[in-house]
A and B are shown apart, each in its own frame.
Chain A
Amino acid sequence: MTEANALIEKYKLAPVPPNVSRLSVLLQGRFASNAVEIAQIIKDDPILSARLIRIATNPKRRDEEPMEIEAAVMRLGVGSILVLVMGELLINAVLRAFSTMLGVALEPLDSEGRELKQFVGKIQFAGKANGHVFLRIPVSVGPWFVTHALGQEYAATAEELVPDVVGEMLNIVCGNFKSNLCDAGLTCKLFPPTVQVSEGFELEWSEEEKKQRIGMTTEGLPFFCDLVITPIATT
C-alpha cells in the first residue's frame, strides 16, 4: 500500500477516482500514437466512452451508427482525450459537491446557458496544469442554491449570501479537481475565487487553449461548469 493510500484509509477519505490513474497513464505518453491502446484505457469506463463518442461525432450525424472508440480516439487526438478525462474528474467533483452539500442529484443538460443573467464564479489553477474553472448559477436560482446549502431559515437573507455560497461551492469543486490533478502528477495550485454577476456570458479562451462546457440540471433548474485549459505535453 502506498503512503497516500495508507493516509486515505487512516482518515477514512473517499478513494481516488479511477480517472486519476487513467490520466496519469495517458500523461506518460507511451500511447501517444497508438489509438488502440488509448481506446483500451478509455473502454473500462462506459460514461467516459459515451462522452468520447459524443464529442467526436458530428452533431448532424448523431442519428447514424455510433462511432467506434478507436475511431473517436484517432479523430480527437491524445491532447483532447487528456482534457476529456480532466472534464470527467471535474464533473465528478461537481456531482459530489451538489449531492453532499445541497442534497440533490444532477443530470446532464444539453445547454450552455450563455444568455442567462447569472452568478459566475471563477478560479484559476497554475503549475504543471494551467487554466480556469467556472461555476455558473442563474441569478433566479440563487436563493434556491443558498437555502439548499444552509437551510430554509436563511430564505430571508438568501440573496446577500449567494456570492459566498457560489464561491465556496466552486472552492470545493476546484479543491477536489486540483487534488485529482496533483495525484495524477499535474502538481498545481489554486488562486482565490472571484464571483461576479454576468449577462450574456462569453467564455474567454485563446486558440491554444481547450475548453469543455458542462450543463447540468436538477428540479428543472440549470447549472453550468466550464473548464478552460492549456494543452499539456505528454512526456
Chain B
Amino acid sequence: MCRGLMGSTALYFMNEKRNGLKEKIVNSQIWRSMFRHGYENTGRRYTLQVLQNVWLHLHPPRVPRHGINFRFTWCMGGITFLMFLVTAVTGVLLMFYYRPTAEYAFRDVQYLEFDIPFGMLLRNMHRWAAHGMVIAVMLHMFRVFLTGSYKKPREFNWGVGVILLVVTLFLSFTGYLLPWDQLAFWAVTVGTNMARATPVLGHEGPFHPQDITQENDVRFALLGGTIVGPSTLLRFYILHCVAVPLLASVLMALHFWRVRKDGGISGPL
C-alpha cells in the first residue's frame, strides 16, 4: 500500500538514501569498534554472534535440536537464572530504602510500601521472584534427574547444582528475616532453633562437650546472640545482600561453564 501511495521511483531513492546512511554508520570506526560482525544471514555470522558476545558466549554456537525443545528442557535452569537476575536488580533498588537495624527495618519496609512510588511493586517483585526461583530450581533438578543428565561425565556439575539449590534456599531464608515483622521473626526463630540440636556443636545436641553452651555454639555464630535480635538482622542482611549472592554467582559461573565443558546439553548418544 505504501508503495502504491509513494510511487516506486520515490521509494527507490529513499531506500538508496537510507542505505547510504546505514552504510556510513555501520562502517564508522565507532560502530565497528563495538560490533565486529555484520548482520547477514549466514552460518558464519550466526556463529560469530554467539562467539563474540560476552553474554551469549556461555552458549555454544550450535546445540542439538532437542536442546531448544521446551518439552525436553522445560527452560527451568534458565528461569532460575532469570529469577536470580530479577532479585538482584530489585534487591539493589530495595537496598536504597532499607536500613538493617532493629529500630528502622520494619519502618523502612512500611515506608517503602506506602510512600515510595512503586515501592510495593518493587517489594512484591523481589519476594515473588525469590519464591519463583525456589520453585524453578526444584523443577530444574527434577528434570535433570529424569533425563539422567547427572550421569558421566556430568557427575561433578550435578554436585555443584545441589550446592546451588542449598544456596538458593539459604538466600531465600536470610531474606525472610529482613522485613522484621512477626512472620519474619518467628519463621527464622523456628528455622534456626534446629541449630541448637547440632551434634557436638550445638548446646542441646547429642555428644556436645561441656564447654559448648548457648553462648558459643553454632546457633550463636549464626544469630550473633542467644535469640534472634538486632545482630541477627545485621548478619542476615550481610549474608543476604553480599556474601551468599557472591557465593551463588561464583557457583553459577562454575555451573554454566561446566555445562559447556561436559559436552553441552545432555542427549542420547
Our verdict on whether A and B bind, yes or no, reads: no
